[in-house]
Structure 1
């Protein structure tokens, strides 16, 4: 079950109101959720421990790189 999508905001906390941007975000998240579910199920069928694959998927998301980061930490 995929959680309800949030109200998308920019870095300043302003709501993204562009219908096309919201549509793209929804489509991307739905695609990502399905791909993650498929990988999760495949891992379980191959005998991987459920906790390990869940932990790995969380770390995978945490490790995503922001190529648009600006500032001294970039």
Structure 2
């Protein structure tokens, strides 16, 4: 299982996030998310769901995320 390369993270003003600890937390979170999504994907395939349907649903799931800090 290979996780895509981490992007360079930017703040709302377009400035790169430079705090090493913040970047480390983001990387850990993305790795955990990838692992969990991969496991759910494999389970769905084993249960007979189609790859396309699950990928479509995962995209919908991501699109449904809300920013609780939006002003």
The TM-score with structure 2 as length reference comes to 0.96
Cα root mean square deviation, aligned:
0.6
Give the paired residue count.
Answer: 70
Off by >3 Å, runs of 4+ in structure 1:
none
Q: Distance in 1 between matches of 2:28 and 2:7?
A: 13
| Runs of 5+ unmatched residues, structure 1 | none
TM-score of the aligned structures, taking structure 1 as reference length: 0.92
Q: Whole-Å Cα distance in 1 between the matches of residues 51 and 26 of structure 2?
A: 28
Structure 2: state its 5+ residue gaps: none
